[in-house]
Amino acid sequence: MGSALLPTLRRKPEVDAAIRDTLDKVLVLRFGRADDAACLHLDDILAKSSWDISRFATVALVDMDSEEMQVYIDYFDITLVPATIFFFNAQHMKMDSGTPDHTKWIGSFSSKQDFIDVVEAIFRGAMKGKLIVSCPLPPERIPKFQLLFKDMTELYEAMFRQKSL
């Protein structure tokens, strides 16, 4: 539903234009794919709150599956979806949320208000000339991510190898 309400960018020039031409507003780009459960949840939150934040932010979705988007996926090193990236005046805005990665928000938000708070913090920081802001959310509401193996056989194999070395 969310993906139907928000503009979806599929080509690189579209994303370029969105980043370059969104002036004095926060641009929220959601990298993901519409058939993903977490993405759907995030899209829903984005779509619902896009009107509330429309005076200081614009929200757009980016379809990760298109071939042209690989440039951006490589640049932002996107491995986990959904990944939300913030821009202000063609500048990439970073957020220190206690996670290993400051360059993007990984996962969904627990509520609409959380998302609005995050975007507002970024907008306020950007208007003060800050390229990195700290996350206004309490740590328990920030999605954590860890590394895990695809299946345990690989893990055991890796362990075994290490022992044998």
Query: Based on CB atoms, which residue is closest to other proteins, 4 or 147?
Result: 147
Taking residue 150's Cβ as centre, other Cβ atoms within 10 Å add up to 7
Minimum CB distance to other proteins, residue 74 (Å):
6
Measured CA to CA, the distance from residue 13 to residue 22 in angstroms comes to 14
H/E stretch holding 63 reads strand 57-63
CB atoms within 10 A of CB 136: 14
Token pair recorded at residue 146: 């860890």
Interface with other proteins by CB under 8 A: which residues? 12-13, 15-16, 19-21, 23-24, 32-33, 36-39, 41, 64, 71-81, 88-93, 100-101, 103, 106-110, 125-131, 140-141, 143-150, 153-155, 157-159, 161-162
Tell me whether residue 76 or residue 116 sits nearer to other proteins (CB atom). 76
Closest approach, Cβ 53 to other proteins, in A, equals 17
